[in-house]
Amino acid sequence: MNSIPFHKTKLIGGFWKERQDVVLSTSLESVRARFEETGRFDAFNFAWKEGDPFRPHIFWDSDIAKWIEGASYALMLSPDSSLESYIDSVIEKICEHQEADGYFNIYFSVVEPGKRFTRRTDHELYDAGHLIEAAIAYAQATGKTAFLEAMCRYADLIDKIFRKEGSASFVTPGHEEIELALVKLYRYTGSRKYLDLALFFVDRRGCQQEEQYKDFAKQGYCQDRLPVREETEAIGHAVRAVYLYCALADLYAETGDQSLLDAAHRMFNSITEKRMYITGGIGSSHAGEAFTLDYDLPNLTAYAETCAALGLALFSRRMSSIEPDGRYADTAERAMYNGFLSGMSLDGRAFFYENPLEMIPRLKSRDVTCRSVGIRLPITQRLEVFGCSCCPPNVLRFINSIADFLYSTDKDTLYIHHYMDSETESERLKICQKTEYPYEGKICFSICSDLYRKVAFRIPGWCSSFRLECNGETIECTPVRGYVTVCLPQDNNVLVLDLSLEPLVMEADPRVLSDCGCVALTYGPLVFCMESVDNGEGLRDLAVDTQSLIFDRNGPMGLPCIRGNGYRRTIPDTLYHPVSHTYLSQSVTFIPYYAFANRGESEMCVWFRES
Amino acid sequence: MNSIPFHKTKLIGGFWKERQDVVLSTSLESVRARFEETGRFDAFNFAWKEGDPFRPHIFWDSDIAKWIEGASYALMLSPDSSLESYIDSVIEKICEHQEADGYFNIYFSVVEPGKRFTRRTDHELYDAGHLIEAAIAYAQATGKTAFLEAMCRYADLIDKIFRKEGSASFVTPGHEEIELALVKLYRYTGSRKYLDLALFFVDRRGCQQEEQYKDFAKQGYCQDRLPVREETEAIGHAVRAVYLYCALADLYAETGDQSLLDAAHRMFNSITEKRMYITGGIGSSHAGEAFTLDYDLPNLTAYAETCAALGLALFSRRMSSIEPDGRYADTAERAMYNGFLSGMSLDGRAFFYENPLEMIPRLKSRDVTCRSVGIRLPITQRLEVFGCSCCPPNVLRFINSIADFLYSTDKDTLYIHHYMDSETESERLKICQKTEYPYEGKICFSICSDLYRKVAFRIPGWCSSFRLECNGETIECTPVRGYVTVCLPQDNNVLVLDLSLEPLVMEADPRVLSDCGCVALTYGPLVFCMESVDNGEGLRDLAVDTQSLIFDRNGPMGLPCIRGNGYRRTIPDTLYHPVSHTYLSQSVTFIPYYAFANRGESEMCVWFRES
């Protein structure tokens, strides 16, 4: 199958258009300004010397690369000559400071020259991957190829040193990313060696003992304990993991190597059946930013990095384009609307690195007498920039290219994976979606094509009933692996899909310790949560009458909400006492999870008790 | 009021007699053997030199001192000449190696000579306190006074250096203990200077900034942020705290200084109303082994050190002897039967330092790829000795002297605080208690005295109804502050107290986050718990029909248990799904909390959900 790239689609209105507008109008500039203030752009002057402020960090190249990628997508959505010149000025510096043999890395040119390719832990190939992705994006956006050519020369050097000579101090990247970037580079340039290099990195992973992380982590930390084809579970640093799994899918798509697809299946199943929050967040432990054990998904201390949810969406999107199975787009949607989107504030200026499913601000002061930390809790308010600021520019590039998720095609079938108010124009194909999804379940399509005779609509996993109409006629159909396929009777078709939507009370597998005795509330793809700003302090003791819940388009912050009734216990005289079953009733309000922590510090919970 | 000391009482049978027999027959020797193996006794040869194994630790003096104290109490319960000679041999070494000016500390004589009284953090005065307590115990047990005289000389030196000269590098002990020991020494010797020194240490605490813990902890860590009379809450390292609070009570008893009693009240209330587990465990955080915030009582990561529960019992006992208020003995009982007693295995050989209220062994391997620790969990099986082995000998001395808790007297009233099958003979007083308490609520007393005309029975806080009979006649009475007082009509009286006992379903204050939505089960003073060895893995998902619970004297391990019915969810196909309300029923068995972890590694929980 082929995906229809995002720039063939114009978001017209609705949920994602609003988020994209915020990115274009605010976030792109805000992140740029923060990166300037923190010396990240100046680092490209290669002028830093010992004693200067803003010592370049090993991953700053990637921060700026992701920003350039996001900005390039912005240029594809709407031209902006001043933004373009700004990027040109950065690219000029990149070309100016690229070493004669093609090498480019700020840290290893300026801070520790002579140490290139000696430390697997130091994100060098990760930086290269993001630079390659940025270079492709900028070439796509502007047709200018200087950056791309520079990065091809760098990729050639990497190919020589790692694949041909084996002369680096390590064999595979400590932090995956370059694998998927090289497949992209192969697809864009047609140059087979980049695919071979990506395959080399994937094939060699876990085939030898690379010890460089030994003080800090075990082999699994960077998916290294076994060759990828033998690994049975999603393991280690979650962002590294899903970037690698993206490459598995990409490489299967290019090579047809079934063992790669089998591995991708195992990883997808391990994540979505055992190691994923209901928000699509993954990597439950701050220590190692990593997957831990099956069903170990604590809410209060959840790490669930924004980049990891994003990576899970990217992996799922790739799987959607390999085989039609609704679980992939269900998972992408779970992450996109929840654990990824919570990573950015509603105003687009501030970001979360970690996305917990419960927040109790007063516990921050828990270790009142001792400096050593008893429990580590995520921050309670989003920040504009972090020391390790991978998430903010990642959010920009993701939201600007979100329409990538919508469609794929095979010989005669158009697959519609996601629903967004939008217009798409591709070769011999025009699609229009009118919808207020995910707040309303109705989507009206007009599909014009003389090429595709069938259209496959994804029926989301959360949807228990739907109605489909084609050119005014109701179609009786049952989803197969999450899709219903309709034959298009003519070149111009009007189709209406109506997905039933209602608040759903969800439970987790009983082996998820943290969610035992609790339920969560969803509405379509959206996970909802309670905040104390709406419901009062002490959310753990608030039990909700789930029969009373009603969806309301007019909730706090101008967003939809779900309202109902709840019960709290009264405050007693003694710390412990026989159960009294005395309760106070109150109204309760749930807001979409992605919108939590936008009104100052507040308790928050996704999982709650039923009354 | 005066307490009747433990050696006036002989335990005849029942709960504590059984525990004491285990200590006398097994634990005393087992702890001694472990302390020999680890070089603790050899350290008293003062022969260690750099390069030798078993480098003396700063608190080894106290480990042996507590063992000697416990062993001395054993001698008072039943003479044992070989045990006595063994202790004599240790005392000989103490006297031999005591410095000319009276100083005694292994570490600061052998490892760092010349550094005495320079580091507040190094437990020097804490060691001294335990040596003083041991010396008094041994003098009481044997009449031999060499050890006591040696320790008086040491106390005289401390008095000179700290109180008279102020020539040490610090003013008050980093770890409290010597204060209560000095009061004991004053009471035993009648020498007022020891009382003055205890008062000095208590008065000066928090009156100056002593910074020696600054890298590790804040002032509150050792109850130092405010003068004791101004402190409003129980704070910092829990063992240090309760040892200090014991001294507050002792010093009030000796001086009548109301401000000390007020402070003791505030500390008692802070602990028992806001900062204590239902087991009587205190100090909820491993970091600092400390109190944290009000109502912050996590179950899985509870620290709840054995010594801290013991110290809370000691503090409560002192308060019971100051004023008749049942809350004190209720608290002592809560700690004694639960969070203290869980510190020793049923066979008396192994010990817990930490006493969590939930255990999930599989979480131990949580950080599978990363060496840094994400959540710190207590060990799941008791050990025979620890590097820091304060708890094991503390348990011995406590259980051997447990009858200390039973009685106090004032001019004409005998206060009966606790119920144990026992016979007591004191001046113009004989008391016999026949009872199977706490498994049965009936206690038959014979009380013979021509001195006490009234007897006050404590009606435990958990007891909702009781019956009292004096010489065959039912007495109608209502407890006042937890006690009912009966006039004794004659010198020889037979009284029967029958406390109603039934399984009680308890809840915590809703501000205790960890217990929201959960209940706990008690029976008299005993807290019960579930273990997976009886109930299957996955206790978090097991909901119990609390209407079905029945007490059964014949449970696992030959102990009583509570049996009933419970429900689990079935294992579903998906990680998240709409609530199904499908359950499997099963029988459930609760065992006494103190007996958990005696059958290998097992899940355990005190707090559970009702079905």
Nearest by Cα to B128 from B182, B194, B88, B166: B182
User: Which residues 4-63 on chain B approach chain A with CB closer than 8 angstroms?
Assistant: none
Q: For the residues B14-25, what does the mean pLDDT come to?
A: 98
Q: How confident is the model at residue A373 (pLDDT cuts 50, 70, 90)?
A: low
A183-205 pLDDT, tens digit each = 999 999 999 999 999 999 999 99
Q: Is B548 helix (H, G, I), strand (E, B) or coil?
A: strand
pLDDT at B472 over 90: yes
End-to-end alpha carbon distance in chain A: 48
Instruction: State ipTM.
Output: 0.96
**Lowest mean pLDDT across A214-218, A578-582, B519-523, B535-539:** A214-218
For residue B14 the two structure tokens come to 């029942």
pLDDT of residue A374: 65
User: Around Cβ A586, how many Cβ atoms within 10 Å?
Assistant: 12
Query: How many Cβ contacts (< 8 angstroms) between chains A and B?
Result: 217
Handedness of CA B350, B351, B352, B358 (dihedral sign): positive
By C-alpha distance, the chain B residue nearest A511 is: B538
* Contact assessment for residue A43 and residue A106, using Cβ atoms and an 8 Å cutoff: yes
Q: Which residues make beta-bridge pairs with B561?
A: B552
Question: Do B516 and A541 count as a contact with CB atoms less than 8 A apart?
Answer: yes
State the SS3 of B562-606. Answer: EEEEEEEECCCCCCEEECCCCEEEEEEEEEEHHHCCCCCCCCEEC
Q: How confident is the model at residue B374 (pLDDT cuts 50, 70, 90)?
A: low
pLDDT of residue B208: 78
Say how far residue B583 (Cα) sits from the centre of its chain. Answer: 41
pLDDT of residue B462: 97
Residue type, B215: D
Q: How confident is the model at residue B212 (pLDDT cuts 50, 70, 90)?
A: confident
Which chain A positions have a beta carbon within 8 Å of B224's beta carbon?
Answer: none
Nearest by Cα to B272 from B328, B337, B350: B328
Nearest by Cα to A402 from A5, A114, A62: A5
Q: For the residues B304-330, what does the mean pLDDT come to?
A: 97
Residue type, A344: M
pLDDT at A211 over 80: no
pLDDT at A375 over 70: yes
DSSP B438: T
Question: Do B510 and A543 count as a contact with CB atoms less than 8 A apart?
Answer: no
Q: How confident is the model at residue B373 (pLDDT cuts 50, 70, 90)?
A: low
* Contact assessment for residue A417 and residue A458, using Cβ atoms and an 8 Å cutoff: yes
The rounded distance, in Å, linking the Cα atoms of B536 and B539 is: 7
DSSP A601: S
User: Which residues 567-586 on chain B approach chain A with CB closer than 8 angstroms?
Assistant: 568-572, 574-580
For residue B603 the two structure tokens come to 């899940």
pLDDT at B483 over 70: yes
The C-alpha angle A150, A156, A157, rounded to 5 degrees, equals 95
Q: Give phi and psi for A409, each to the nearest 5.
A: -135, 150
Question: Do B292 and A219 count as a contact with CB atoms less than 8 A apart?
Answer: no
**Lowest mean pLDDT across A69-78, A279-288, B213-222:** B213-222
Question: Do A368 and B287 count as a contact with CB atoms less than 8 A apart?
Answer: no
B335-372 pLDDT, tens digit each = 999 999 999 999 999 999 999 999 999 998 888 888 76
List C-alpha distances in Å: A335 to A308, A315, A458: 9, 11, 17
The rounded distance, in Å, linking the Cα atoms of B151 and B103 is: 9
Strand order in the sheet with B483-487: B2-3, B407-409, B413-416, B454-458, B483-487
B367 in contact with A at a CB cutoff of 8 Å?
yes
Place of tokens 């680890």: B38
Q: How near does any CA of chain B get to the CA of A7, in Å?
A: 34
Which chain A positions have a beta carbon within 8 Å of B291's beta carbon?
Answer: 368-369
A301 in contact with B at a CB cutoff of 8 Å?
yes
Q: How confident is the model at residue B376 (pLDDT cuts 50, 70, 90)?
A: confident
DSSP B202: H
Q: What percentage of residues in chain B have a pLDDT greater than 90? A: 94
Q: How near does any CA of chain B get to the CA of A481, in Å?
A: 15
B218-272 pLDDT, tens digit each = 889 999 999 999 999 999 999 999 999 999 999 999 999 999 999 999 999 999 9
Is the previous residue joined to A438 through a cis bond, with omega within 30 degrees of 0? yes
Sequence-separated (6 or more) residues with CB below 8 Å from residue B239: B175, B283, B289, B305, B307, B308, B311, B390
* Contact assessment for residue B182 and residue B198, using Cβ atoms and an 8 Å cutoff: yes
B59-78 pLDDT, tens digit each = 999 999 999 999 999 999 99
The strand pair at B543-552 and B609-610 is best described as parallel
List C-alpha distances in Å: B611 to A98, A424, A581, B587: 67, 53, 14, 13
pLDDT at B501 over 70: yes
User: Around Cβ B552, how many Cβ atoms within 10 Å?
Assistant: 13
For residue A416 the two structure tokens come to 């519609």
B285 in contact with A at a CB cutoff of 8 Å?
yes
The rounded distance, in Å, linking the Cα atoms of A556 and A551 is: 13
The rounded distance, in Å, linking the Cα atoms of A150 and A530 is: 50
Q: How confident is the model at residue A208 (pLDDT cuts 50, 70, 90)?
A: confident
Place of tokens 């010397």: A49
Report chain B's mean pLDDT, rounded to a whole number: 96
A273 in contact with B at a CB cutoff of 8 Å?
yes
Q: How near does any CA of chain A get to the CA of B521, in Å?
A: 9
Which chain B positions have a beta carbon within 8 Å of A175's beta carbon?
Answer: none
Q: Which of A293, A301, A368 sits opposite B368 (nearest CB)?
A: A293
Buried b (16+ CB within 10 A) or exposed e, B190-199: ebebbbebbb
The rounded distance, in Å, linking the Cα atoms of A318 and B280 is: 55
User: Around Cβ B77, how many Cβ atoms within 10 Å?
Assistant: 21
Which chain A positions have a beta carbon within 8 Å of B219's beta carbon?
Answer: 369
Q: What percentage of residues in chain A have a pLDDT greater than 70? A: 100
Say how far residue A524 (Cα) sits from the centre of its chain. Answer: 19
A463-486 pLDDT, tens digit each = 999 999 999 999 999 999 999 999
Residue positions of B annotated with a catalytic role? 289, 390
Q: Which of B278, B367, B519 sits opposite A579 (nearest CB)?
A: B519
B92-106 pLDDT, tens digit each = 999 999 999 999 999
DSSP A38: T
pLDDT of residue B569: 96
Is A384 exposed, middle or buried (CB count within 10 Å of its CB: 0-12, 13-18, 19+)? middle
The rounded distance, in Å, linking the Cα atoms of A204 and B591 is: 53
pLDDT of residue A367: 82
Q: Is B463 helix (H, G, I), strand (E, B) or coil?
A: coil
- What is the total residue count of chain B? 611
Residue type, A364: K
The rounded distance, in Å, linking the Cα atoms of B361 and B244 is: 35
Q: How near does any CA of chain A get to the CA of B464, in Å?
A: 10
The rounded distance, in Å, linking the Cα atoms of B604 and A138 is: 58
The C-alpha angle A12, A18, A22, rounded to 5 degrees, equals 125
Q: Give phi and psi for A142, each to the nearest 5.
A: -120, -15
User: Which residues 497-516 on chain A approach chain B with CB closer than 8 angstroms?
Assistant: 504-513, 516
pLDDT at A119 over 90: yes
B373 in contact with A at a CB cutoff of 8 Å?
yes
Report chain A's mean pLDDT, rounded to a whole number: 96
Nearest by Cα to A22 from A315, A343, A333, A314: A343
DSSP B135-187: HHHHHHHH---HHHHHHHHHHHHHIIIIIII--SS-SS-SS--HHHHHHHHHH
Q: Which residues make beta-bridge pairs with A475?
A: A468
Residue positions of A annotated with a catalytic role? 289, 390
Buried b (16+ CB within 10 A) or exposed e, B28-64: bebbbebbeebbbbbbbeeebeeeeeeebbbbbbbbb
A307-365 pLDDT, tens digit each = 999 999 999 999 999 999 999 999 999 999 999 999 999 999 999 999 999 999 999 88
Q: Give phi and psi for A104, each to the nearest 5.
A: -145, 115
Crossing angle of helices A306-320 and A391-400, in 10° steps, is 30
The strand pair at A609-610 and A543-552 is best described as parallel
A256-269 pLDDT, tens digit each = 999 999 999 999 99
End-to-end alpha carbon distance in chain B: 48
Place of tokens 């170990």: A296
Q: Is B401 helix (H, G, I), strand (E, B) or coil?
A: coil
pLDDT of residue A209: 72
Q: Which of A276, A363, A577 sits opposite B506 (nearest CB)?
A: A577
The rounded distance, in Å, linking the Cα atoms of B175 and B125 is: 8
Q: Which of B333, B369, B605 to mutate to test the interface with A (most CBs of A within 10 A)?
A: B369
